[in-house]
Structure 1
Amino acid sequence: MKIRVVFLAACAVLLTSCGSGKNVVKSTPKREVVLETKEEKAPELPQLEQIKRPVTTTTNHTETYIQKFALIAVKKMHEHGIPASITLAQGVLESGSGRSQLALRSNNHFGIKCHRGWEGHSVTHDDDEKGECFRKYKYPETSYEDHSQFLLTRKRYASLFRLRHTDYKGWAYGLKRAGYATDRKYPQKLIAIINKYNLTQYDRVKPQGSLVSKTKTIAAKSYKVQKGDTLYSIARRYNISVRRLKEVNGLSSNNISIGQDLLVK
């Protein structure tokens, strides 16, 4: 009888311990991973406002675009080895000479999508599919730098960097073979833009001397708006008319803001 009582007591203890073990098991809550947005480095070259209209009646949107961004393309050529002519031609083609919504809204001149791991700002835009994620930049130069890094960090473009930076035709056809664009005539379009606007001249700019002088020349032709400035006062300072100042900068009104860069040539 005693043996039976002891046996039943032992079973009760065992069952109690098993039951309590189940009660303490809890599921681990999932943690949400939040990526921090990277801050863009301030550009070294003057970042001019997007111009929606040609500088004069004798120039077109593409010429205006090239005048604005050639120096940045040259700078990236010396830093990364991509022909300035190719970079400019791609910018012209991909951004509609700076007039596309991506360029105007997001300073995205090359239609680069967010892709996996992108930690910067973004904007949605209809492209191959509706509401796709595209990268958004604070400065145009950041878009040009990102374009260089896009080519540098993908193995399929590695063979291009063995070409001379003056071999723009090799680069144009190489980009198509590497899968940069689905358009069968993409190389011919780039080459046509390069030839029409003589973009090869920028491939020959030396890394020193000429580049520095060009930087100073462009810097001298732009003015950063200060507190108290008006279009009239700026026009008088640079001996041009207000009408000309508005035309050069694509302004539809007399409103300007502090820190804004204006062309004053």
Structure 2
Amino acid sequence: MLKKILALIVLSSFLLSCGTSKSRVKTSKNGTARTTRTSRNSKPSIRTTVDSKTGTASSSGRTETLESTSKTVVYAEVVKAYIEQFKETAKDNMKRHGIPASITLAQGILESGAGRGTLCQSANNHFGIKCHNDWTGPKVYHDDDSEQECFRKYSDPADSYNDHSLFLTTRSRYAALFKLDKDDYEGWAHGLKAAGYATDPKYPAKLIGLIQNYDLAKYDAEVLNKKYTAPTPKPQTQASAPVASVPAPVKQQPAYGTYTVEKGDTLYSISKKHNLTVDELMKLNGMSGNSLSIGQVLKIK
């Protein structure tokens, strides 16, 4: 009997310990959801950063590391699927609000982790927009710059896209952006940072990188009925080619059995250096005269 009691105590302790670090979401009657953790050492990572130019080997040839409301590593196919899903929404918003579709899509990829980030999954919030004072809709709470900050929650991704457009068009600090050309995505990328949309100093470069890597500017051209030409990759020069490149300080070694003529060399000095007569050296190289040029390669065997 005593053994049974001890076994029950041990089993109860194990079951209690298994549940101490699980996340849970509480939703209030007004539609507010709150994400909390009973373990204080497992705070989720928040804030939007991305390195779109680095990649690791994968079945797709590249992965993207996107840090939205949580660090998310996705294959390039996931990013492309996200673009395919929301490109028409972005183009429609460009027609109605004047925000380049390329910028909308790049921000959506960046802020939502290509749709895989925590905030996107729990609240359909694709752009990391916080509640601010004018939001009266449903809310969720996540740790960001401070603990448990208020973020907007949407019933549908299209609502998030529309609210993103309204967010930019109704705030005076973004007014200068709408004076730019409709397809000036680089101007928009830098303008968003300057207006305070993000604090990351690399934010413009990350948006531009996504636009160029995934050819997003073609959607701007489609809306504007312009001809679009995809960027041409820069040709690889001999200096940058991994097979042909030779480090600058290192001389390329001549092939075995040859000699490269240097400044001050004569047929006589070369023949003596390699235990040949001048006639033998000339015969090996089919020479009829004794003229030489610096860099000329001669056979010596």
- Band of TM-score, shorter chain: 0.5 to 0.7
Distance 2:190 2:91 in 1: 21
**Relative contact order: is structure 1 or structure 2 higher (C-alpha 8 Å, sep ≥ 6)?**
1
Structure 2: which amino acid aligns with 1:111? G
Distance 1:188 1:206 in 2: 24
1:126 and 2:143 matched: yes
1:137 and 2:154 matched: yes
Offset of residue 137 of structure 1: 0.3
Contact persistence 2:91–2:223 (CA under 8 A): no
Distance 1:174 1:132 in 2: 25
Contact persistence 2:193–2:199 (CA under 8 A): yes
> Could you tell me the percent identity over the aligned residues?
56
1:95 and 2:105 matched: no
Q: How many aligned positions are there?
A: 154
Match for 1:203 among 220, 223, 228? 220
Q: SS of the residue aligned with 1:85?
A: helix
Provide, for residues 106-161 of structure 1, a one-character-per-residue CA deviation record: whole Å limited to 9, x for no partner: 10000101110211111111111111111000010100011011111111100000
Larger Cα Rg: Structure 1 or Structure 2? 2
5+ long unaligned stretches in structure 2: 1-29, 32-58, 61-75, 226-301
Structure 1 match to 2:96: 79
Structure 2 match to 1:112: 129
Contact persistence 2:131–2:139 (CA under 8 A): yes
Distance 1:70 1:195 in 2: 15
Structure 2: which amino acid aligns with 1:84? A
Q: SS of the residue aligned with 1:60?
A: helix
Provide, for residues 219-257 of structure 1, a one-character-per-residue CA deviation record: whole Å limited to 9, x for no partner: xxxxxxxxxxxxxxxxxxxxxxxxxxxxxxxxxxxxxxx
Q: SS of the residue aligned with 1:184?
A: coil
Normalising by structure 1, we get a TM-score of 0.56
Structure 2 match to 1:231: none
Q: SS of the residue aligned with 1:133?
A: strand
Distance 2:112 2:203 in 1: 14
5+ long unaligned stretches in structure 1: 1-35, 38-56, 209-265
Distance 1:163 1:183 in 2: 22
Distance 1:207 1:168 in 2: 13
Q: SS of the residue aligned with 1:112?
A: coil
Q: How does 1:118-197 map to 2 (within 5 A)?
A: 118-197=135-214
Structure 2: which amino acid aligns with 1:171? W
Structure 1: which amino acid aligns with 2:105? L
Structure 2 match to 1:64: 81
Greater per-residue strand proportion: 2
Structure 2: which amino acid aligns with 1:198? D
Structure 2: which amino acid aligns with 1:142? D
